[in-house]
Structure 1
Amino acid sequence: MSLRSDSRRQVSGWLVMSAYGLVSAVLQLVWLTYAPITTAAAGHYGVSEGAIGWLANVFPLLYVVLALPAGIVLDRWFRPTLGAGAALVAVGAGLRLFDDYVFVLAGHLVVAVAQPLVLNAISKLADGCLPDRQRPAGIAAAAAANLVGMLAALILGAAMGADGLRSLLLIDFGAALLAGAALWFGLRGQAPQEIDTPARVSAGALRALFTDRRTRSLGGLVFVGFGVFIALTTWLEPLLKPAGVTNAGTLLAVLVLSGIVGSAVLPAPVVHRGLERPALGATLLITASGCAALAIAPGMLVATVVVIVVGFPLLAALPIVLDTTERVVGAAGGSTGAAFIYLLGNAGGLFIAVAVEQLLGRPGWAFSLLALVVVGGFASLRSLGKGTDWIRAASPIRNPPPHRQFW
């Protein structure tokens, strides 16, 4: 009887994680809707290409501002906050159905506000819904769903074009409604003790995220890795164009697809075997080598090999870091810990992408800069201890429920 009960809870937990993954994927669909059709969309709405570009840019900008507040609210009122985030995704997608740029921008702003409420929940949701042994796989699956959403946005936008824009927006809205409803019902079906660990996040806890050696090092790794990924997705086309590569969009799709496979197969065995540090080190080495190869010998063949080889570990590193961060800060502060990681990842994306933009006329220098940035990530890796003792040491959770303080 007990075994059947445990089995039912596991199935229920995975259904919730699946619904959460769908909401996360829809977020990426909305974010990148116009990326493959920027010029045509500008003509459709009668605005500049820059105005269409801002539909995507508001997401990382608002995330940097709202990441930590959203994490704090999630740790205090997890279930209603995550439900509100899913609802806002549907509302924002619905606003875009009004065929006017003002409503489209408003819809993107609403979804951009929802983004940290949804994404920051990944670690805590997996901890509350799944057994410890399955938590890394749950985090990896949800992180992979983000990449699936990105890939779907690039493929659908390119396939349907501006002529199919109305249908594309309807698909996004319908997917947002279905995913939000599935997550809402899933959250209602979870027992309170399995998903709710209310925590009041102290000011000292927020300071410690930036000063504790472990979280600071993990944040530094994400700043570098996620930042380089965003820079590549933003500028790969103009950087490779002088070398005669004209189908950078296909290369980006291959990069994301390779990352999806990596996220599906790498994180769980790495975490179970305590190989976080060597796996992250190998990721830095492979990424730096790939950027160096593009600096030395840009071309279609080299670029294809690089995006496959680099994408596989680079995008899989994020769920590894998220799982490790949750174990460092403890379950009660899991959402704030995830917020810290995503905050530094988006900040790295903005900073590194702007730096690379200054070198668009010199692609070799731009790829060399990316390689040097990745090499700099070894400084963060070096400050982490060997083995897994550094993860378990000095757990910041001190006080018991119902209202935990962490750090």
Structure 2
Amino acid sequence: MTVEDILLILFIYIIVGVVVLVANYADHQRQTWLRQITIAVLLLLNVLIVTNSALTWVQVNNPDLFANADSIDPDDLPSAAAADAALIFSLVFAGLSAALLFQPVRQVVARLFPRYRGETGAHPLEAHPQPEVLQPPSDESAQGISPELVPRTEGTPLFPQMLNYYTSEALILPRPVTSGQPMPGMTSASPEQRPGRSYQVRGFNPASTVHMVALIMCVYFWGVQVINFILGGGLEGVAEGFEGSITVMDLIINGLPQVLLPILGVGIGLRRNWPQTRQRLGLQMPDLEGAVMAFAATFVLLVFVFFSSIIWQELVSEETLEEQTQASEALADSIGGIGIAFLIAVQAGVGEEIAFRGALQPVFGFWATTALFVLTHMQYTLTPAALIILGVAMVFGWLRQRYNTTVAIMAHFLYDFVLLALSLLAGEYVEESIIRMLML
């Protein structure tokens, strides 16, 4: 990765981070003009994505239009079919993300996600409903119109209410407590609120600028991966992308946005302080049961992947197997030692779990987040390994839902590190094809 590449990536991260901050401020201050600026920037990103694919298409089909056409190696360019497909997909993703800028469209899409349940930490006067007042019959009610319940602006103490029961002009009626709602002054005894467990479904709010940005960023993230996958030549291109050793700088560049964007996205400094941010992302110390379950889940996943890989090997030919696992093999070859394997496992476990299970799952739900996790692993999307990744993602999502994100991070780290270490230390004792399939 060159210095120019690093600077370009950091510039993109800064733009996305600013968009997330502005979206949070727009929701926090209820500023319509900031919301409009956010929408304008997202539209500009749409234009940039389509423009990049269009320029690639022109470069492939009409290279003479570029001043440096003579210095371009044709082997470095994608095929004409790949350029056509990339342009079509960029238009599709740009159209989808543009449509999601409209709230009526998001209201329809919201049916795919959990119903919005609001934010926690509301003011006590907002958290508990106020009593209602039954007004005495008016002239209209005397003519047959039913009395109307009108919210009372002030609460009334219990004793004066009883004292004035026969003399008061209005009868105080408390609102009924709905199912699942704690009584005032009492806390829920749900497992999620026990020490070390913090999962709470918040749901998708179509009216939220932050949720709109999160949804569109997911579309961007997936869309850019699909486009790069096509332009890079599919699985073979992904394998070529792992040529050379993975460096610490590569891990920092890849992991930085997975940690910082979720922290910014949940509104640190605006809507939440640091303890509230950790609570929202599920970054608490796990209890003993959670820690034990992380190790148990890792063992179950390793057994699951091992036997799934054997079945996969029996169902396809050796040639097909080599083609489908070439990206995994290239990844294994790019690991220079046990130290870099440890850092890769840390980056994947911490970054992916905070982003997917910590930030997205409480909003988009278990299944949508799991599907997005599978789709973003493009090197496996077109192979049977996608089903294995689906099973792995479901286990991590369940750990987040049952315990917290920290437990999911532990399991993800252990799972990746064991497989990476196995590829380095046990390769001479384990059949090469099995190693290729385990490196998922």
TM-score (norm 2): 0.27
Higher relative contact order (CA 8 A, sep 6+): 1
TM-score (norm 1): 0.29
Question: Whose helix fraction is larger, Structure 1's or Structure 2's?
Answer: 1
